[in-house]
Chain A
């Protein structure tokens, strides 16, 4: 029985149990944060993406012990004070989704990209998002949403 402490969506969190369990299932089944989705279980599709210290991480292949002392942000933690994050707003505006199942992972993947590279070219967006799979074919709208969020941030709109 080990204890793992980390920040989850801005709240100090301490969990005890099997530290080797994958973060995805701890989030979904223990903590009820079902916005993080199961898609492939092998870090191949990006549906389970969360932010760990601002980097995009596949929670289905990340052990709980690996987030000790980190800042974890899930899709539920992105909107603040009832206001959507500008990337979420851009996904709404451009309809960067159809079935919506890959959307939380897409948004957090885009968040990590823009954190590292606030003004990505379209080629950089395509390369970064290439590990995220969307089956509905909403790719074009997703790219437009990421470009739009980057443009808004350049104007000083993004925190």
Chain B
């Protein structure tokens, strides 16, 4: 396309800078105070968290950087990324708090492997929960250094000084003062600390716990926000990569002659990688359609109907994450045994930004801008794929257009990197929506079996839970049950188990917890109905966990819950869950159209205890997002597949939540300043399945044992 006019104006440079060049970084850090932190001991106090590598807790080489320059500007350099969860807004709050500087004086650089210290990735609701203390430690150390410098400058002991607003003064004489900038000016100071620094007490917080305006707002509403697919190095070509039609299909032969004849098209073959390149995505895509490829058929005979039997038959060896008492003894106490099997489907992450990356190979170094949740692990993968050293690979993460766990895998960036080296010009890879569905690391389908015993006094005396494929997150119950056992066979980290899943699976927002919570909280409700007790009262009768009791009582109050035995005809349902250290109780109201089987969620109340809240407004938005997104896996989403082929390829068949589904949403966060900040990006999604299933039962007396609760399944349940 030739452009005849040259006076188009495109706004740029709105809002906050989100990237810094290497040169700017070196200039930035050539003077001033740079604090790097290794604070492994801090994590002794943290809840152990499962990592992809099987380690527990953060690795010991974890660092955080905080830099203060001569004009008092504070920059934090953090390996996390901004997925929409608000990390670029909330993390600077922690630094501003510890350093006693205004929030506007704190800049943040995210997800750049040349500038930021190593980080394992942005997932698991860990940014605040586990990384927060590290960043606070770096800031606290920076402040300690500044106080020491100020003591020398003002000739007074540190104990006689007060820091406020980026200025240190004599407590007794505020006129004697020096700014952070003056203290660092012209110097190059570096500190590396190990161990546990003194952090501000929560009670003294003035910035943490207050709402902070989103730093990405202006860029995002003006179109200036850059995602990986928006980065266009000079001479960049779009690559459309030849991908198989089914999982397990193998390329037999390929004829690229017709594509090669298209003007402006280049075809690249690099071993198994075949790509068609053009300056424009659409023209590369048209040329890709001219490539004739022969594939062997997929050996898979699995589909979305026979998968459950397959999962049961091929489940990996059992692990027992929780148990107590003795199941056999418990069942002897039971007057009634209640046993059910629950099923869950495969779900796509389906972020609105498809996997995108741009790679440029210059002077022996490759720079890759990638939409990824894991820039540092991706850097290692690119090094391995291209046999390059660490110094030769830089991954930069611009804004990421949603991840939800799906961008922990970043195959598109490796494709871009390989192609950029092969063709010698920068290469852009932007997956089509069909590729996004095909290569997704789906939330796994699962089979869940619960066998529980009720005694004559309406108490649960035994709980025997078998989880197949969903993993152990959220599997262990939190009720007061004397004899119980939770056995897990297979997880969402299922790539490692050959032949178990027909395609890749992976973490999906609160991985496993939504599936486990659906089974447990449905079963608890079934038991409550058996006893004739109100579902809230039945739960409270079996809870000793004070945090859970508190959120459940608060949710019931907020909802205006009146005790009744289900089914009451009202269509109200409750569920409780824990995830990422946060406790959450949800109550929903539904309407069920008996003729069509369609469920409408009318109202959702969710109350959570997440410890210290860094940015309340941000945390509330995450809860609202969890609830709204959760409606998808509950009501409509489901990946259909057959013999290795993914049948859902776009939004016409894959039914995600829409505006017309929007219920009334009321969320509340209970204050708990005595507990460190817990996870916020995931917990409120986990209750949605059971809360809606329980509400459907309460409304129309039909029990759904399978997600999603599509109209056909509701109609079938009504007949059962």
The residues of A with any CB-CB pair to B shorter than 8 Å are 8-9, 11-18, 21-22, 24-26, 28-42, 44-45, 47, 74-76, 78-79, 84, 88, 91-92, 95, 97-104, 107, 125-127, 129-130, 132-143
Contact = CB atoms under 8 A, between A and B. Distances in A.
A44 B650 contact: yes
Contacts of A100: 84, 216, 219-220, 225, 399, 401
Interface residues of B, number: 69
A132 B84 contact: no
A114 to B, nearest CB: 15
Given A101-B352, A127-B659, A140-B662, 12 more contacts: A13-B5, A30-B3, A75-B222, A88-B222, A92-B217, A98-B625, A100-B84, A101-B351, A101-B402, A103-B220, A138-B621, A139-B657
B279 interface: yes
Contacts of B624: 137-138, 140-141
Interface string B387-421: 00000000000011111100000000000000000
B229 A99 contact: no
Nearest to A93: B217
Contacts of A31: 3, 8
Interface string B242-279: 00000000000000000000000000000000000001
A36 B651 CA distance: 19
B354 A38 contact: yes
Nearest to A35: B223
B21 interface: no
Nearest to B230: A34
A11 to B, nearest CB: 6
Nearest to B662: A139
Contacts of A29: 238, 279-282
Counting from the closest, the 7 A-B pairs by CB-CB distance are: A35-B223, A99-B84, A101-B401, A137-B628, A100-B220, A98-B84, A75-B223
A31 B283 CA distance: 15
A30 B10 CA distance: 13
10 contacts: A9-B9, A11-B5, A21-B283, A32-B10, A38-B281, A76-B10, A76-B11, A91-B221, A97-B217, A98-B625
B662 A16 contact: no
Residue from A15, A127, A129, A139 with most neighbouring chain B CB atoms (10 Å)? A139
Contacts of A139: 628, 657, 659, 662
B617 interface: yes
B55 interface: no
B226 A34 contact: yes
Nearest to A10: B9
Given A136-B84, A139-B657, A143-B662, A37 B280 contact: no
Contacts of B400: 99
B7 A11 contact: yes
A11 B226 CA distance: 23
Most buried by A among B221, B227, B281, B651: B221
Given A29-B238, A75-B223, A76-B10, A140 B660 contact: no
B2 A17 contact: yes
Given A35-B223, A79-B222, A135 B656 contact: yes
Contacts of B401: 37, 99-101
A22 B281 CA distance: 11
B430 interface: yes
Interface string B616-639: 010001001111111000000000
A14 B662 CA distance: 42
Given A15-B2, A29-B281, A9 B402 contact: no
Nearest to A30: B1
Interface of B: 1-5, 7-11, 83-86, 214, 216-227, 229-230, 232, 238, 279-283, 350-354, 399-404, 430, 432-433, 617, 621, 624-630, 650-652, 656-660, 662, 665
B229 A95 contact: no
A107 B84 CA distance: 17
Of the listed residues B230, B352, B354, B629, the one surrounded by the most CB atoms of chain A closer than 10 A to its CB is B352
Given A28-B281, A76-B223, A135-B350, A16 B4 contact: yes
Contacts of A136: 84, 402, 625, 629
Contacts of A135: 350-352, 402, 404, 629, 656
B217 A95 contact: yes
A62 B612 CA distance: 49
B284 to A, nearest CB: 10
A51 B307 CA distance: 45
Contacts of B238: 29
A47 to B, nearest CB: 6
A99 to B, nearest CB: 3
Contacts of B660: 126-127, 130
B486 to A, nearest CB: 30
A101 B356 CA distance: 13
A99 B350 contact: no
A41 B432 contact: yes
Contacts of B399: 99-101
A155 B84 CA distance: 32
A44 B652 contact: yes
Contacts of B5: 11-14
A117 B174 CA distance: 59
Contacts of B658: 130, 133
Given A32-B232, A47-B352, A40 B433 contact: yes
Given A99-B402, A134-B352, A74 B223 contact: yes
Contact of B84 (A35, A40, A74, A97): A97
Nearest to B211: A95
Among B280, B283, B626, which residue has the most Cβ atoms of chain A within 10 A?
B280
A20 B85 CA distance: 39
A86 B658 CA distance: 24
A13 B8 contact: yes
Contacts of A103: 220-221
B227 A126 contact: no
A107 B223 CA distance: 10
A133 B651 contact: yes
A73 to B, nearest CB: 11
A28 B238 CA distance: 12
Nearest to A34: B230
Given A37-B352, A99-B399, A137-B627, A11 B8 contact: yes
A95 B621 contact: yes
A40 B651 contact: yes
A138 B222 CA distance: 17
B105 to A, nearest CB: 21
Nearest to B350: A135
A35 B222 contact: yes
A110 B400 CA distance: 23
A88 to B, nearest CB: 4
A141 B222 contact: no
Listed residue (A24, A32, A37, A99) with the most chain B CB atoms within 10 angstroms of its CB? A99
Contact of B218 (A92, A125, A141): A92
Contact of A17 (B1, B10, B214, B662): B1
Given A38-B430, A79-B11, A135-B629, A126 B84 contact: no
Given A34-B226, A34-B230, A130-B658, A39 B10 contact: no
A132 B83 contact: no
B625 A38 contact: no
Nearest to B14: A79
Contacts of B226: 34
Given A29-B279, A30-B280, A137-B627, A98 B85 contact: yes
Nearest to A85: B221
Contacts of A78: 222
